[in-house]
Amino acid sequence: MQTATLRPARRRYVPPQHGAWAMLLVPYLAGLLAAGFRRPDVPLLGAWLAGYLFSYFAFQAVKTRRPGRFRPQLLLYGTATAVLAAPVLWVCPRLLWFAPAYALLLAVNTWFALRRDERALLNDLASVVQSCLMIPVVAVVAGVPPQRVLEPFLIVLLYFTGTVFYVKTMIRERGVPAYRRASIAFHLLALAVASLLGALPALVFAVLLARAWLLPGRPLTPKQVGLLEIGASVLVLVAAAA
C-alpha cells in the first residue's frame, strides 16, 4: 500500500523523460573529466538538476495554461535551484556570462511549449545546446578557459545532435525515409569532424554512424533503444575525456 502511494507522488515530481538524464549528466561529467573537479561542482550539479526539474514543470505550466496545477513543483525546484546556485555564483560570478545564451535557448523552448510542440526538431536542438553548454560552465568553475574544452564540447554536441535524429528514426519518426536520410547524413558529417579530433573520437563516431545506419527499422522497444544509448554515452565520455 505504501509503495502504491509513493508511485503517484513520484510521478508528480519526477518527469517521465528518461533520456533527459543522460543529457544532464554526460556534459557535466565530460566537463569534470576535461577541466578537473572543484568543490563548487557539487552544488553546481544540484542546481543543474533542480533547474532542469523546474524548467520541465514551468514548460508544463506554459503548455497547459494552468500554472496553479504545478505550483508545488515550481516552488520546490525553484527554491532548490536558487539555494544551490547562489554559492556557485558567489565564488564564480563569471558564470553569469552564460546567462544570455541560456535565456535565448529557454525562450525557444518556451515558444514551442506555447505552441504545444515540444517534440519539434528545433526545440530538441535548443535543448541539446543548453545541455552541452554545461561543459564550458564546469571549465569556468575550475578556472579553465572555455576554449580549452572546445574538443569535448564538440564531441558531446555532435553526439547529442545526432541522437536527436537517430532516436526519432527509432520511435516517433520510425519508417520515415527523410528522417533516416537526415540522420545518416548528419552522422557522416559528425564522423568527418571527429576524424579531425583524433583516432578515438573517429572510432566512436564510426560506431554511432553504424547504429544510425543499421538499427532503424529493427523491432527495438524504446527501453532497448535507451539501453543502447547508455552504452553510446559511455563511449562518448571516453572520447571526450581523451
pLDDT one-digit tens code per residue, 106-132? 999 999 999 998 889 999 999 999 999
Distance CA 102, CA 98 (A): 6
Give the span between the Cα atoms of 24 and 50, in whole angstroms.
11
Instruction: Say yes or no: 124 and 222 in one domain.
Output: no
Q: What is the tally of helices (H) and strands (E) in the chain? A: 11, 0
Do 135 and 164 sit in the same domain of this protein? no
Sign, Cα dihedral of 97, 100, 106, 108: negative
Domain identity same for 100 and 165: no
- For the entire predicted model, the pTM comes to 0.92
**Alpha helices (H) in 115-221, listed in sequence order:** 121-132, 134-141, 150-170, 177-197, 199-214
Does residue 161 share a domain with residue 129? no
Same domain, 17 and 126: yes
Among 143, 174, 190, residue at a domain's last position: 143
Considering only CA atoms, which of 28, 19, 18, 20 is closest in space to residue 132? 28
- pLDDT of the residue at 154: 97
Pair (36, 121) in one structural domain: yes
pLDDT band at 135, cuts 50/70/90?
Answer: very high
| Percentage, residues of the chain above pLDDT 90 | 79
Domain endpoint, select from 109, 143, 177:
143
Q: CA 150 → CA 28, 158, 177, distances in Å?
A: 14, 12, 33
In this structure, the answer to whether residues 99 and 207 fall within a common structural domain is no
Query: Do 110 and 217 share a domain, yes or no?
Result: no
Span 17-43, mean pLDDT? Answer: 93
> Of 143, 167, 182, which residue sits at a domain end?
143
Helix, strand, coil % in the chain, rounded to nearest 5: 85, 0, 15
43 within 8 A of 67, measured Cβ to Cβ: no
Closest by alpha carbon to 48, among 107, 88, 93, 10? 88
| 160 and 137, same domain (yes or no) | no
Count: domains in the chain: 2
- Asked if pLDDT for residue 4 goes beyond 60, the answer is no
In terms of domains, do 198 and 230 share one? Answer: yes
Domain that includes residue 165, residue range: 146-242
Tens-digit pLDDT profile for residues 37-96:
999 999 999 999 999 999 999 999 999 988 889 999 999 999 999 999 999 999 999 999
